[in-house]
Structure 1
Amino acid sequence: MTERNPESMGESNRVLTVENLTVQYGGVPAVDGISFHVDAGELVGVIGPNGAGKSSTLLALVNAVRSSSQRLELSGASIAGKAPEYVARHGLALVTEGHHIFGELSVVDNLKLGRVARSSAAGLEEDMEWILGLFPILREFHSRSAGLLSGGQQQQLAIARALISSPQLLVLDEPSLGLSPTAVDTVFAAIEAVRQRGVAVLLVEQRAQQAVAAADRTHVLSEGRVTMTLTPSDASNSELLTKAYLGS
């Protein structure tokens, strides 16, 4: 487990640097020149209404959509224009909305797919034990077809598969969407354990209050721009959250 000292945070342990990121669809900006960063062991949230540009931002990080930027760096190295496979192998793991597990494969075979993006086999067994400790249900159902898991269990599997790659940055797009309260609690507890391990986390989340409370800071997107940045102390301010999330 990595201890974090906020006073020592800076460029030396910056995992993600985004400056002036723009994404356009048919000439219409979905992301309009946003800038932010994530340091090692930090959890940074992104919230906002539908159509604000949240998912487009995440897809731009792995170059799954065309974008432009002044800087797009992972641990100081440019990933602008690199293939998604390159970005994954260099330490960015993206868990997209909707799980995207392979239902016909077993739980354990889904987990094995996470090894593809892993830069080294060193420490794999230890990482697997740690991950199964986060999500014990995956150990219990290791031989079950992934398609037979509940929605919450599939989300746990998707996050676990991403963690098998031993990422520097874990990026999550709406991980609580459609989950039961118990499953949501499991996912958020795992996210906290991941950041305490020293992994940077970027979280797009619909549950504004929970995201703001959990994150070191939370950026609010509206019409492709960052309109405000919230801290955990803002989580109990319902008026501010309503304004931030609904734009009213």
Structure 2
Amino acid sequence: MARLSESERKNLRDSAFAYVDSKGVRRLPIYDEPHVRNALARFDQVKFESEAARDKARKRLLQAAKKHGIVPVGFVTAQLETERVRVSTSAGTPPSGFLTLLFTDIENSTMHLHRLGADYAKLLQKVRRTIRGAVARAGGHPVELRADVAFVVFEDAAAAITGAVAVQRAMAAATWPRGTEVRIRAGLHSGDVTLTEGGYVGIPVHTAARVAAAAHGGQILVSGECRRAAGSPGPGMQFRSLGRYRFAGFSEPIPVYQVEAEGLMTDFPRPRTGTRVRTKG
């Protein structure tokens, strides 16, 4: 790629650059294919004035990539991996102690990324908005939204299940880029956790993640502890026992239940992970 001379650079419009800072300094030329590819490779080397400026530059770069027929899979993946939303302490002390933990992730996310290319970022943003809105109405506290994974905590187990049901209903009702069918897996567990500077720690965090990993897209799985903490299911909801499963890293089997409610899918294969423990006799 030929380096731009000062005169050539001056003759370019601001629109030929992904980022123009508040002082008018222009960075990351994107006016042709070689420079777009170079900007994709150098994006993380640029110091942006704010996260908003970074987001705007990223959108301009992805639009340029699409215009020149470039599918920046590696770039999109790297950017999504660095995006993280943590609990904000500005609204008070985040909850700790006995909580119900919800994990979700997008089924077939890699397939969607390859199929949609730069448009995958839009899909992911919509999934995050959908999850944030549904759990907020149920009293949930988003802890982390990273790549295609969401981690939310609730102080009330019944509210957590209501929130998970709301998420699945909202996902099913939404429309997605290029008619893509998007489903998320959801799993919940309740237990005592500790909030540290690095986030929530405790065996229940790992248990919730294992339960979520066992779910299929569109499905909600809960542990026996979560079911006990929730008590009776909410109106129009019920728990269906799937048996006891032994998951990697856990010596004791965990009872697993599927949440069933109006508007949710009900028929799924056996849980994706774990080994079912048969009851003797």
TM range, smaller chain: under 0.3
* More relative contact order, 1 or 2 (CA 8 Å, 6+ apart): 1
